[in-house]
Amino acid sequence: MSLRKVAVPAIAMVVVLVLWELLVWVQGWPNYKMASPSDLWPAFWKFRWLFLEYGWQTLWRTVAGLSLAVVFGVGLGMVMGFSRTMRDALYPLLVGFNAIPKATVVPIIALMFVGQHDMNTVLIAFLISFFPIAVSVSIGLSTLEPEYRDILRSLGASKLTIFWKIALPKTLPEFFGALKVAVTLAFIGTNLMEIVEPHGKGLGHLFDSGKISADYPLMFAVLIALAFLGIVLFYVVVFLERIFAGWAEREAT
Amino acid sequence: MGEALIEIKGVTHAYQTATGPLPVLDDLSLVVPEGDFCAVVGPSGCGKSTLTRLIAGLMKPDRGEVWLHGERVTSPRKTVGMAFQNPVLLEWRSILQNVILPLEIVAPSMPRRDRIARAEELLSLVGLDGFEGKRPSELSGGMRQRASLCRAIVHKPDVLIMDEPFGALDAFTREDLWQTMHDLRMKEPFTALLITHDLRESVFLADEVVVLSGRPATAQYVLKVGLPQDRTLDVLYEPRAVDMLHILRDQIRIAQGRAPQEGAA
Ligand SMILES: Nc1ncnc2c1ncn2[C@@H]1O[C@H](COP(=O)(O)OP(=O)(O)OP(=O)(O)O)[C@@H](O)[C@H]1O
Ligand SMILES: [Mg+2]
């Protein structure tokens, strides 16, 4: 990684922070209107252990929900990608399900399994994020040019072999494209549930306690922590994409 | 010339479409002896690609039979190699790994080292040495098609089925590849069935040229080329080749439902 690659985003971030600080200072906004970056550090420091503990909880729940979404989404995508009938049957159902704003599902789930906080959170992260994965895998598989299949089929290869050697790798770029969307969605899902559920844990809960106790710098600090986690998750996916589907990346010319 | 390797006996086939059955092949019969190179020409959409899929066992004909090597074809066989107009190389594999692919299916127990040696041998035969580690996207269209040919014959198939493999290439690259095809055949003889739109290509490469009629297709005319095995492109400018090209062109016009051109002979 070159210096430029690190320096440019770092400088951009510092510039934004300085502008933010200036804006709050020039406007003379009180803390309850808009906290400034210099207020955030004390908030972080005061709750440092909670940030670590809750951050970890938000992280593992998101990853668990996303993992479920990957397993289920890829399975569903395979079923829909290989069978026309299943695609025709499931597609409208899926679209309908996806059209429901997930914010409305959150309280329903929270009431359905009262007290099962971990499960609820993972469940909502899963529900909100499997859709793009399923759709991308099914489209990737169903649009596989027949000739690609025929190179192996003409040698008597089994369906499974064709899947492993051709269909799966060919679908990987689409899959990772969807995973980038899904990871963000799962993260949103986790936080929605953490905020809504009483006596919860996780960064969402910390945000909620900030709200209840009118600790605005804490709320902003949580936002920054969430942004940080979101960035980390996103770049983990980008990193995996480089490893497994790097071939799809064209050299910039 | 050996015994019949590809035998197509009275094959009739129709596709089921939304507007009813579309007859594509009608009582088509064709024999290709072992070691022969057979070119198939015919009007666009007459059913040539369908024929290749039937021979490869990718589809079953409604009526009639396809035989390979004295065995009736009912499903795909490991002894067939295929090449298409689009080279369909796998972008995530290097050129070498692409060529090896059929061996992974046909000869899973073959040692890695032997596979690599086999692929390298073929790649150098078609002039691709030094490109083994490259990705398909780093090669020109002609080079990709060469790699695709290597992949089609890497497992030493009895039959090589090619569906317009040179169709998308420019004229000079195409002629280069005809020569490559010849060289390959001299090195390791195989029986071939080549679908093409290019009459010069058919005369230069084949031992016999089959003209299919318009859809539904049947074998309308068979031309025995009878040129020496070891040909160069110059042969196409000799009178006997020119005569053959004229005959084929007239046959195509008949297949298209038009009258042969006046004064052509
Ligand atoms: N899977 C299919 N379902 C329905 N109709 C098909 C199918 N495949 C081909 N056809 C039709 O069958 C006819 C013959 O197709 P085929 O691809 O065999 O022709 P072709 O001789 O190879 O044509 P070309 O010279 O353009 O490659 C065409 O009219 C085509 O529209
Ligand atoms: Mg065709």
Q: Which domain holds residue B73?
A: 1-77+189-265
Q: What is the CB neighbour count within 10 angstroms for residue B110?
A: 14
**Is residue B137 in contact with ligand 1, taking CB distance under 6 Å?**
no
* pLDDT tens by residue, B107-152: 889 999 999 999 999 999 888 889 999 999 999 888 999 999 999 9
Percent of chain B with pLDDT over 70: 97
Tell me if B245 is assigned to some domain.
yes
**Cis amide prior to B108 (ω within 30 degrees):** no
* Exposure of A52 in the CB half-sphere (CA atoms within 13 A): 4
Tell me if B152 is assigned to some domain.
yes
* pLDDT tens by residue, A71-88: 999 999 999 988 889 989
Q: Are residues B112 and B236 in the same domain?
A: no
Q: Are residues B50 and B100 in the same domain?
A: no
The ipTM value here is 0.80
Distance CA B40, CA B193 (A): 7
Q: Are residues B15 and B46 in the same domain?
A: yes
Question: How many residues are recorded in chain B?
Answer: 265
What residues of chain A lie within 8 A of the CB of B92, using their CB? 169-170, 172, 245, 247-248
Tell me if B65 is assigned to some domain.
yes
For residue B63, pLDDT beyond 80: yes
Number of the ligand 1 atom closest to the C-alpha atom of B197? 25
Q: Are residues B142 and B70 in the same domain?
A: no
Q: Which pLDDT band, with edges at 50, 70 and 90, does B265 fall under? A: very low
End-of-domain residue from the set B157, B178, B199: B157
Distance CA B179, CA B234 (A): 12
Tell me if B144 is assigned to some domain.
yes
Number of the ligand 1 atom closest to the C-alpha atom of B48? 21
Which of B92, B106, B137 is opposite residue A169, by nearest beta carbon?
A: B92
Q: Answer yes or no: are the C-beta atoms of B87 and B94 closer than 8 Å.
A: no
Q: Which pLDDT band, with edges at 50, 70 and 90, does B194 fall under? A: very high
Residue B113 CA to its chain's centroid (Å): 29
Phi and psi of A129, rounded to 5°? -115, -5
Tell me if B176 is assigned to some domain.
no
**Smallest Cα distance from B123 to chain A, Å:** 18
For residue B77, pLDDT beyond 90: no
Beta strands in chain A (DSSP E): none
Alpha-carbon torsion A193, A196, A199, A205, what sign?
positive
* pLDDT tens by residue, A90-122: 989 988 988 888 888 888 888 888 778 888 899
DSSP state of A116: -
End-of-domain residue from the set B157, B178, B210: B157
What residues of chain A lie within 8 A of the CB of B95, using their CB? none
Shortest CA distance to B254 belongs to which of B229, B224, B204, B217?
B217
Q: Whose CA is nearest to atom 25 of ligand 1?
A: B44
- Count up the domains in chain B and report the number: 2
pLDDT at B264: 47
Q: Are residues B65 and B114 in the same domain?
A: no
What residues of chain B lie within 8 A of the CB of A169, using their CB? 90, 92
Residue B263 CA to its chain's centroid (Å): 32
How many A from CA of B195 to the centre of ligand 2?
8
pTM: 0.80
Shortest CA distance to A32 belongs to which of A219, A172, A249?
A219
Tell me if B175 is assigned to some domain.
no
Q: Are residues B90 and B112 in the same domain?
A: yes
A52, two tokens: 């670590």
Q: Are residues B17 and B62 in the same domain?
A: yes
In the block, residue with structure tokens 């002039």: B127
Q: Kindly report the three-state secondary structure assignment for every residue of A208-247.
A: HHHHHCCCHHHHHHHHHHHHHHHHHHHHHHHHHHHHHHHH
In the block, residue with structure tokens 């000799």: B238
* Chains A & B: contacts with CB separation below 8 Å: 56
pLDDT at A179: 94
Distance CA B159, CA B107 (A): 17
For residue B183, pLDDT beyond 90: no
For residue A57, pLDDT beyond 60: yes
Tell me if B173 is assigned to some domain.
no
For residue B98, pLDDT beyond 90: yes
pLDDT at A84: 87
3-state helix, strand, coil in chain A (%, to 5): 85, 0, 15
Q: At B14, which CATH number?
A: 3.40.50.300
Distance CA B239, CA B100 (A): 43
Q: Are residues B72 and B91 in the same domain?
A: no
Q: Are residues B51 and B8 in the same domain?
A: yes
3-state secondary structure of A219: helix
How many A from CA of B165 to the centre of ligand 2?
10
DSSP state of B88: -
